[in-house]
Amino acid sequence: MERAAVFDVDGTLVDTNHLHVTAWWEAFRQAGHDVVMHDIHRSVGLPGHDLIARLLGDDRDTGQDDAISAAHKTLYATYADRLPALPGAGRLLRALAGQGWTVVLATSASGGELAALRRAIDADDAIGATASSEDVDEGKPAPEPVERALELAGVPAERAVFVGDTVWDMEAATRAGVLGVALRCGGIPQRDLERAGAAAVYDDPADLLARLDDSPVARVGQGLDAARQGTRGPS
């Protein structure tokens, strides 16, 4: 039977979360807002305007939102030609594709930003499809990005796994009825990822690849309930 391995990209396959934090911090500063980097980090993974709303509140001057978002995009783009893939990212995607999985990216990135991320991963031969921000109305933690990825793969939720690095990723997977596997390389604590629905937590793509045969991913074929009984990564 067909299986789909759906992946978040920022912080999961490419080491960009802290670059986004720095770019958002400067964008907020330019707009006259003093936002703590820790709070920005915990919000990375949300769509831009949702991130701004979470950090500045509903009583903010919403007329600044577009300018802040545009500043972030411009600042982050300065890193586009040197984005670093996380350890084992490309090898993990190729290993899954070689085992018959349809690999799909589900990301809030699009256009040139998405192209730069794919260059960093350097595994286009293993990627079957991409669900970008242009393909959905709502970003994570809404389930729509995961559901769209499943549509592209032609696979039902019980035959899929979603790998991400934030609580928003795990919440989106849970809402879509898909097994969620989390990676710590985005900087979010294991306990938070588990509370958000992660069935297992690993260090990074290389760690998941090394443990793949004993992971919940390997047991998706046995059904969602069986997969959720899989071993967790080390604390």
| Secondary element (H or E) of residue 28 | helix 17-30
Average pLDDT over residues 59-86: 97
Asked if residues 165 and 11 have their Cβ atoms less than 8 Å apart, the reply is yes
Mean pLDDT of the chain: 93
User: Tell me, what's the pLDDT at 230?
Assistant: 52
The domain made up of 3-16+84-227 has a fold known as Rossmann fold (3.40.50)
**Is a pLDDT exceeding 60 seen at residue 226?**
no
Average pLDDT over residues 101-121: 95
User: Tell me, what's the pLDDT at 133?
Assistant: 87
User: Tell me, what's the pLDDT at 235?
Assistant: 45
Candidate from 147-161, 176-190, 195-209, 214-228 with smallest mean pLDDT: 214-228
Question: What pLDDT digit, counting tens, does each position of 115-163 carry?
Answer: 999 999 999 999 999 999 889 999 999 999 999 999 999 999 999 999 9
**Is a pLDDT exceeding 70 seen at residue 231?**
no
Question: What pLDDT digit, counting tens, does each position of 8-32 carry?
Answer: 999 999 999 999 999 999 999 999 9
Q: How confident is the model at residue 55 (pLDDT cuts 50, 70, 90)?
A: very high
Model pTM score: 0.92
Distances (CA, A) of 72 to 3, 67, 120, 180: 36, 9, 20, 29
**Is a pLDDT exceeding 60 seen at residue 94?**
yes
**Is a pLDDT exceeding 90 seen at residue 53?**
yes
- Residue from 164, 179, 160 nearest 102 by CA: 160
Q: How confident is the model at residue 225 (pLDDT cuts 50, 70, 90)?
A: very low
User: Tell me, what's the pLDDT at 219?
Assistant: 86
- Those residues with Cβ within 8 angstroms of residue 136's Cβ, 6 or more apart along the chain or in another chain: 142, 144, 145, 148
| 17-78 has the same fold as 3-16+84-227 | no
**Is a pLDDT exceeding 70 seen at residue 169?**
yes
- Residue from 124, 169, 123 nearest 146 by CA: 169
Q: How confident is the model at residue 102 (pLDDT cuts 50, 70, 90)?
A: very high
Quote the CA–CA distance of 110 and 95 in Å, as a whole number: 25
- Hey, where are the domains in the chain? 3-16+84-227, 17-78
- Name which CATH class applies to 17-78: mainly alpha
Average pLDDT over residues 185-211: 98
User: Tell me, what's the pLDDT at 220?
Assistant: 87
User: Tell me, what's the pLDDT at 121?
Assistant: 98
Percent of the chain with pLDDT over 90: 90
**Is a pLDDT exceeding 70 seen at residue 222?**
no
